[in-house]
């Protein structure tokens, strides 16, 4: 059992509240990713689970036991840090076996477990080297190895790949995904990189200013964001937000007029009732949803283009200078300053109220 449960967990530094009541259930074996902008409290929350920060209020359970006051080493967790945090005066073998040595395990047992972790992570040729003689990727593998040998209930990763170059990051991401599959351990992973979040997570927790904005599977958050913040944070390029006004509608449909786009009207499908006519709303459209066969049309002028090979990003503006990003899978024959009609299927558009919450 390595479930992790947080109940109304709070953290204050003096009068400033950083974590403002987090409730979360993480099931045994789940890979959970905390994402959010800098300063949202994701690393603080992870450190609270690790026991490196005290919990001001609320309850933290790991494996069914209350852990609020328990020493970090007794929580059944292992942590991998952003800067690797390898002891520079110890060899790879000593680094990996240090916690076990401290737990009083016999030398033979330590050796066995360290060798096993080294085999899994292909670290055997590096065991007698000091951290300064290793590359960034190797150091990160040692840091993961140091966590593995402890056989923790929960692995905690604090932005483990952010110090690596892009290529190595992709490689290590795959390694971590494999590791999760092989070990079947519960992993809580902090990142600000949404690609890492989308590719690794069973469940993503989006945080903002110490509050959980939404919890869900990666595609669930992508397809059904609960509010403007999540819609804007998940997905790259970012979702387009167009200011609109409810023109009319009824049960299951709302007609949204977009004054900045020549008064274009987009019929948006809803599960419930349409908001009252005249209510200000925001229409959300992902850049990848623009297609030539779409029923809704926006007149725009091309401002900037980025050719990425597999796709082309077109940054265009409305007559009122609202920016729209269009991702095209083809290589359209257009130039800067061209005027075009950007089409998208109205069924794919999301509607958000003036309070930023999704209107279903």
Partner 1 sequence: MTSYGLKQRLSSVAVYIFLGVMAFLSIFPFLWMIIGATNTTSDIIKGKMSFGEALVVNATTFFTQVDAPLIFWNSAKITIIATVLTLLISSLAGYGFEIFASRFREKLYTLMLLTLMIPFAALMIPLFMLMKQFGLINTHLAVVLPTVASAFIIFYFRQSTKAFPHELRDAARVDGLKEWQIFFLIYMPVMRSTYAAAFIIVFMTAWNSYLWPLIVLQSNDMKTITLVISSLGSAYYPDYGAVMIGTVLATIPTLFVFFAMQRQFVEGMLGSVK
103 binds partner 1 (CB under 8 A): yes
Nearer to partner 1, 79 or 200 (CB): 79
The CA distance from 224 to 233, in Å, is 12
Nearer to partner 1, 148 or 246 (CB): 148
Least Cβ distance, residue 267 to partner 1 (angstroms): 53
* List 77, 228, 234, 239, residue binding partner 1 (CB under 8 A): 77
The CA distance from 287 to 285, in Å, is 6
The CA distance from 264 to 313, in Å, is 23
Q: β-strand 57-62 against 4-13: which pairing, if any?
A: antiparallel
The residues, ordered by sequence, that sit 6+ positions from 173 with a Cβ below 8 Å of its Cβ are 161, 196, 199, 200
The CA distance from 66 to 341, in Å, is 58
Q: Are 53 and 11 in contact (CB under 8 A)?
A: yes
Widest CA span in the chain: 76
Least Cβ distance, residue 166 to partner 1 (angstroms): 23
Least Cβ distance, residue 88 to partner 1 (angstroms): 6
The CA distance from 327 to 344, in Å, is 11
Nearer to partner 1, 150 or 173 (CB): 150
339 binds partner 1 (CB under 8 A): no
Angle, helix 107-120 to helix 136-148, in steps of 10 degrees: 130
85 binds partner 1 (CB under 8 A): yes
Residues 121 to 140: which contact partner 1 by CB under 8 A? 132
Which stretch, 65-73, 191-199, 207-215, 240-248, contacts partner 1 (CB under 8 A)? 65-73
* List 27, 57, 58, 81, residue binding partner 1 (CB under 8 A): 81
- Tell me how far CA of residue 85 lies from CA of 72, 160, 171, in angstroms: 16, 11, 21
The CA distance from 322 to 330, in Å, is 24
Which stretch, 23-31, 72-80, 204-212, 311-319, contacts partner 1 (CB under 8 A)? 72-80
Q: Are 144 and 121 in contact (CB under 8 A)?
A: yes
* List 69, 102, 166, 310, residue binding partner 1 (CB under 8 A): 102
160 binds partner 1 (CB under 8 A): no
Least Cβ distance, residue 72 to partner 1 (angstroms): 5
Which stretch, 16-24, 73-81, 114-122, 183-191, contacts partner 1 (CB under 8 A)? 73-81
Radius of gyration of the chain (CA): 24
Least Cβ distance, residue 144 to partner 1 (angstroms): 13
47 binds partner 1 (CB under 8 A): yes
87 binds partner 1 (CB under 8 A): yes
The CA distance from 297 to 82, in Å, is 45
50 binds partner 1 (CB under 8 A): yes
- Tell me how far CA of residue 334 lies from CA of 65, 111, 310, 330, in angstroms: 62, 64, 17, 11
Q: Are 155 and 28 in contact (CB under 8 A)?
A: no
* List 4, 9, 78, 342, residue binding partner 1 (CB under 8 A): 78
* List 98, 247, 297, 311, residue binding partner 1 (CB under 8 A): 98
Nearer to partner 1, 78 or 283 (CB): 78
Question: Cβ atoms within 10 A of the Cβ of 24, count?
Answer: 19
Least Cβ distance, residue 160 to partner 1 (angstroms): 12
Nearer to partner 1, 98 or 315 (CB): 98
Binding site for partner 1 (CB under 8 A): 47, 50-52, 71-74, 77-79, 81-83, 85-89, 98-99, 102-103, 132, 146
């Amino acid at each position: 059992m390595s479930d992790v449960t947080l109940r109304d967990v709070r953290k204050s530094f003096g009068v400033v509240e950083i974590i403002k009541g987090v409730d979360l259930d993480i099931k045994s074996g789940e890979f959970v990713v905390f994402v959010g902008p800098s300063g949202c409290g994701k690393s603080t929350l992870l450190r609270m689970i690790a026991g490196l920060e005290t919990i001001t209020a609320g309850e933290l359970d790991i494996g069914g036991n209350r852990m609020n006051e328990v020493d970090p080493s007794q929580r059944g967790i292992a942590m991998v840090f952003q800067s690797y945090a390898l002891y520079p005066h110890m060899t790879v073998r000593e680094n990996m076996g240090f916690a076990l040595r401290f737990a009083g395990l016999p030398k033979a047992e330590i050796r066995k477990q360290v060798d096993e972790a080294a085999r899994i992570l292909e670290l055997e040729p590096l065991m007698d080297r000091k951290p300064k003689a290793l590359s960034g990727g190797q150091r990160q593998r040692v840091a993961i190895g140091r966590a593995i040998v402890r056989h923790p209930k929960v692995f905690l990763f604090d932005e483990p790949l952010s110090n690596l170059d892009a290529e190595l990051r992709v490689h290590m991401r795959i390694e971590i995904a494999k590791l999760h599959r092989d070990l079947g351990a519960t992993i809580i992973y902090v990142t600000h990189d949404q690609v890492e979040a989308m590719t690794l997570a069973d469940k993503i927790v989006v945080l903002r200013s110490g509050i959980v904005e939404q919890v869900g599977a990666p595609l669930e958050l992508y397809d059904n964001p609960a509010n403007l913040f999540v819609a804007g944070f998940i997905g790259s390029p970012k979702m387009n937000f167009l200011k609109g006004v409810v023109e009319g509608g009824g049960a299951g449909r709302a007609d949204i007029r977009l004054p900045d786009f020549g008064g274009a009207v987009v019929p948006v499908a809803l599960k419930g009732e349409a908001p009252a006519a005249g209510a200000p709303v925001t229409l959300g459209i992902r850049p990848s949803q623009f297609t030539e066969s779409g029923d809704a049309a926006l007149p725009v002028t091309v401002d900037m283009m980025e050719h990425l090979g597999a796709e082309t990003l077109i940054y265009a503006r409305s007559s009122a200078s609202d920016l729209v990003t269009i991702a095209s899978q083809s290589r359209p024959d257009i130039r800067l300053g061209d005027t075009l009609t950007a089409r998208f299927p109205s069924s794919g558009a999301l509607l958000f109220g003036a309070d930023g919450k999704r209107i279903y």
